[in-house]
Amino acid sequence: MFHRESGVFKTSYGADMALYPLPIAKWTVVVLALIFVVIVPLTVHEYYLSILNLIFIAIVGALGLNILVGYTGQISIGHGAFMSVGAYTAANLAVKLGLPFWLTLPAGGLMAALIGVIVGMPSLRIKGLYLAIATLAGQLIIEWTINHVPAISGGAQASIEVGRPNLFGFTFNTQGRLYFFLLFFAVVAIVATLNLVRSRIGRAFVAVRDQDIAAEIIGINIYRYKLLAFAISSFYAGVCGVLYTYYFGIANYEQFQLIVSIDYLAMIIIGGLGSVLGTIFGAIFVTLLPIVIRIFMENVGSLFFTTAEMANVISGLRLGVFGGLIIFFLIVEPEGLNRLWRNIRSYFRVWPFSY
Amino acid sequence: MSEDLEFAFALVLSGASIGLMYSLIALGFVLVYKATDAINFAQGEFVMLAGLIVVTALGFEAPLIAAVVVVVLAMIGFSFGLEKVVLRPLLGRPVVAVIMATIGVAAVLRGWGPLIFGIETRNLPLPIGDEPIAIGPASLPPIQVVGAAVALLFFVVFNWFFKKSRMGVAMRAVADNQQVAQAMGINVERYFALAWAMAGIVSALGGVVWGSMLGVDVQLALVGLKVFPVVILGGLDSIGGALVGGLIIGIVESLAAGYLDPYVGGGTKDFAPYVLMILVLMVRPYGIFGRRQIERV
């Protein structure tokens, strides 16, 4: 039978904080796991797998940014640069020292966390606008440094080629294999974030976001938690950068420019600030949007534009639509897609007796 | 003068004129921040839009003066509408929301601007020739002289406006305390709109001079990235600060390019201002002339 609830009857904090609020949630997770681990890789075409792979990487990075912006209320316009720090750290370690991915990946994350803490340092003294500008400066300085120091960037093109990840002699060299590789990290990131935000640390983050002075009074060391938020967030960003590097087989600073930081901000705003599910929606949405725009323009736009113009038109359209969506969601639905989903769900949860 | 000194003089001179042109753009940012507390991350895109409108108007065989009038009117209308549609609904929301909304505006302008007005880089010729103008032992391209002159003119005008004119005084009152200003019978909403309109005018002329110097395409928006070092250094709400900050950033950038570029292989111009800005943020976040009203944590 369908399990139906008729209200909130939780009697302990344990029940309130549980990962699975309803028994049906457990089954949902089992079904999702079955779909993603068994059914999708067996049935879905390689091209669509590659899109899913990009979504998985985006989820990791967007979760990190949401921990910082959505949960802790600090802003960062420098996440693209943190990703590049992770990417180049991993690429250098993999190529120069020949380390395997299970060492370079955490190394890239840690390096990004270190840089993130340094860039986040001003957040201890200033906030809001000033922090936004400081992280913007961080982005530009890191971009410049990578581009101008051959020891990091590996020479003229500022890019380093990296081999495919390899585990116990098994190489993840096709989209289907990379799918499992990236799925694993996306799931780890999701579960880690879910657990982080309901832990002591996550609640401290939310307290700092909502009212930092009050948070300090109830005994939260806000300096520590702000830096921690920057560290965790940039760790995710670094890992995301490493995943990009292994996915594309190359570390290139052009993948991590200012525009990428804005893409990721768009993800969390469209998806929903301070929500893990919303982050996933946002990552899916923002990854699919350019693909949809491209397919649309290739079919419809070819009537109006030549092939040469098309690339410019598509990239312009993509940016314009992103910006429009950011503004739209900020004004109309600040809680993003997650709120829309919650509205739909709570409608059906008590359906048909909604009163 | 010895050769070294001459080199330094040339660098400082060129840096100062570029710096004045930076302060012209920074002025738009400061005006809006001063009056409405809103932060405009799209200032560079405003300049780009203005440049695009001018070259498009010139493309229709309009005389330069008509094109400038068109762009000023268009930018006033645009910034007016932007305030109404995007920023008004965000009043009272956290500052992060405003920042991200203007980043969204920046993305929209960067995306749609070239689609509507054309993608290719176009020249914006001003009738001033390209014969360098000699100043002492150094010389400057005429466009830089014109840009610096326009910037200085604006500073004189705005200085008069805020010190003497009735509207300027009312605007300062709004900036100082909105509630008290309202109690004194000042229509605060109208002055918000006026501040944005003035930012529009400044961006329009910024678009003309910068567009004429760099050529008009999407890359013109990158000028806006230099606004932040300028306003942080000078103080976010100080018009004089924008002037001094612009001069300092321009000179620092020019000296860095002149003396450091040979050692690191170029590009220090885009790097030095931000390092300076980070230092200022750590030591004196309200800038040289800014009000010490930063909310500390």
Tell which phi-psi region holds residue A168, choosing left (phi > 0), alpha (psi between -120 and 50) or beta: left
Q: Name every chain B residue with its beta carbon within 8 A of the beta carbon of A120.
A: none
Cβ–Cβ below 8 Å for B104 and A330? yes
Mean pLDDT for A21-49 is: 77
pLDDT band at B297, cuts 50/70/90?
Answer: very low
Point out the domain boundary residue: A213, A230, A256.
Answer: A256
Cβ–Cβ below 8 Å for B275 and A141? yes
pLDDT band at A290, cuts 50/70/90?
Answer: confident
Which CATH number does the domain housing residue B159 bear?
Answer: 1.10.3470
Half-sphere CA count of B268, side-chain side, radius 13 A: 19
Total number of domains in chain B: 1
The ipTM (two decimal places) reads 0.83
Q: Express each pLDDT in B72-118 by its tens digit.
A: 999 999 988 888 888 888 877 777 788 888 889 998 998 888 888 87
Residues A36 and A78 in one domain: yes
Percent of chain B with pLDDT strictly greater than 90: 7
Measuring CA to CA, which residue among B257, B157, B260 is closest to residue B205?
B157
Residues A222 and A93 in one domain: yes
Alpha-carbon distance A6 to nearest alpha carbon in chain B (angstroms): 35
Alpha-carbon distance A308 to nearest alpha carbon in chain B (angstroms): 12
Looking at per-residue pLDDT, the higher value among A150 and A145 belongs to A145
User: What is the distance between the alpha carbons of residues B100 and B111, in angstroms, rounded to a whole number?
Assistant: 16
Q: Are B209 and B220 in contact (CB under 8 A)?
A: no
Q: Name every chain A residue with its beta carbon within 8 A of the beta carbon of B99.
A: 75, 128-129, 132
Residues A308 and A193 in one domain: no
pLDDT band at A131, cuts 50/70/90?
Answer: confident
Alpha-carbon distance B201 to nearest alpha carbon in chain A (angstroms): 24
Looking at per-residue pLDDT, the higher value among A353 and A231 belongs to A231
Task: Please state, rounded to an integer, the average pLDDT across all residues of chain A.
Answer: 82
How many residues would you count in chain B? 297
Cβ–Cβ below 8 Å for A137 and B278? yes
Residue B140 phi/psi, 5° resolution? Answer: -130, 145
pLDDT on residue A1: 39
Residues A219 and A140 in one domain: yes
Query: Taking the mean position of all CA atoms in its chain, how far away is CA A240?
Result: 8
Mean pLDDT for B16-31 is: 89
Looking only at the bridges linking them, the beta strands covering A170-171 and A250-252 are unpaired
Percent of chain A with pLDDT strictly greater than 70: 86
Nearest residue of A to residue B232, measured between CA atoms: A130
Is the minimum CB–CB distance between B37 and chain A shorter than 8 Å?
Answer: no
Residues A193 and A123 in one domain: yes
Residues A262 and A351 in one domain: yes
Which residue of A69, A136, A140 to mutate against B (max B Cβ within 10 Å)? A140
Helix (H) or strand (E) holding B138: strand B138-140
Nearest residue of A to residue B294, measured between CA atoms: A126
Is the minimum CB–CB distance between B285 and chain A shorter than 8 Å?
Answer: yes
User: What is the distance between the alpha carbons of residues A76 and A68, in angstroms, rounded to a whole number?
Assistant: 8
Is the minimum CB–CB distance between B30 and chain A shorter than 8 Å?
Answer: no
Point out the domain boundary residue: A239, A256, A273.
Answer: A256
Alpha-carbon distance B138 to nearest alpha carbon in chain A (angstroms): 30
Residues A95 and A192 in one domain: yes
Place of tokens 């052009």: A254
Looking at per-residue pLDDT, the higher value among A22 and A299 belongs to A299
Total number of domains in chain A: 2
Residues A269 and A283 in one domain: yes
Helix (H) or strand (E) holding A167: strand A166-167
Percent of chain B with pLDDT strictly greater than 70: 96
Residues A94 and A227 in one domain: yes
Residues A221 and A277 in one domain: no
Nearest residue of B to residue A124, measured between CA atoms: B297
Alpha-carbon distance B149 to nearest alpha carbon in chain A (angstroms): 29
Cβ–Cβ below 8 Å for A140 and B270? yes
Nearest residue of A to residue B276, measured between CA atoms: A137
Mean pLDDT for B188-202 is: 88
Residue-range definition of the domain harbouring residue A35 = 20-256
Q: Name every chain A residue with its beta carbon within 8 A of the beta carbon of B107.
A: 262, 266, 319-320, 322-323, 326
Q: Is the pLDDT of residue B63 over 80?
A: yes
Please list, in sequence order, all residues whose beta carbon lies within 8 angstroms of the beta carbon of residue A220, skipping any fewer than 6 positions away. Answer: A204, A207, A208
Answer yes or no: is B66 within a domain: yes
Answer yes or no: is B44 within a domain: yes
Is the minimum CB–CB distance between B222 and chain A shorter than 8 Å?
Answer: no
Looking at per-residue pLDDT, the higher value among A174 and B230 belongs to B230
Q: Is the pLDDT of residue A187 over 60?
A: yes
- DSSP characters over B236-289: TT-HHHHHHHHHHHHHHHHHHHHHTHHHHTS-GGGTHHHHHHHHHHHH-TTTTT
Residue-range definition of the domain harbouring residue B245 = 8-119+143-283
Residues A150 and A208 in one domain: yes
The one-letter code for the residue type at A256 is F
Point out the domain boundary residue: A256, A273, A288.
Answer: A256
Nearest residue of A to residue B226, measured between CA atoms: A137
Mean pLDDT for B213-238 is: 85
pLDDT on residue A22: 66
pLDDT on residue A23: 67
Specify which residues A171 forms β-bridges with. Answer: A166
The one-letter code for the residue type at A305 is F
Q: Name every chain A residue with its beta carbon within 8 A of the beta carbon of B294.
A: 126, 130
Residues A351 and A216 in one domain: no
User: What is the distance between the alpha carbons of residues A183 and A173, in angstroms, rounded to a whole number?
Assistant: 15
When mean pLDDT is compared across A198-202, A307-311, B121-125, B214-218, the lowest value belongs to A307-311
Cβ–Cβ below 8 Å for A326 and B112? no
Find the CB nearest B114 among A137, A144, A316: A316
Query: Which residues 70-129 in chain B show a CB within 8 A of chain A?
Result: 86, 89-90, 93-97, 99-101, 103-112, 114-115, 119
Q: Are B269 and B253 in contact (CB under 8 A)?
A: yes
Find the CB nearest A144 among B103, B119, B270: B270
How many residues would you count in chain A? 355
Q: Express each pLDDT in A86-114 by its tens digit.
A: 888 888 888 878 778 888 888 989 999 99
Please list, in sequence order, all residues whose beta carbon lies within 8 angstroms of the beta carbon of residue A251, skipping any fewer than 6 positions away. Answer: A84, A87, A88, A90, A91, A159, A160, A162, A241, A245
Q: Name every chain A residue with its beta carbon within 8 A of the beta carbon of B86.
A: 327, 331
Is the minimum CB–CB distance between B281 and chain A shorter than 8 Å?
Answer: yes
Is the minimum CB–CB distance between B236 and chain A shorter than 8 Å?
Answer: yes
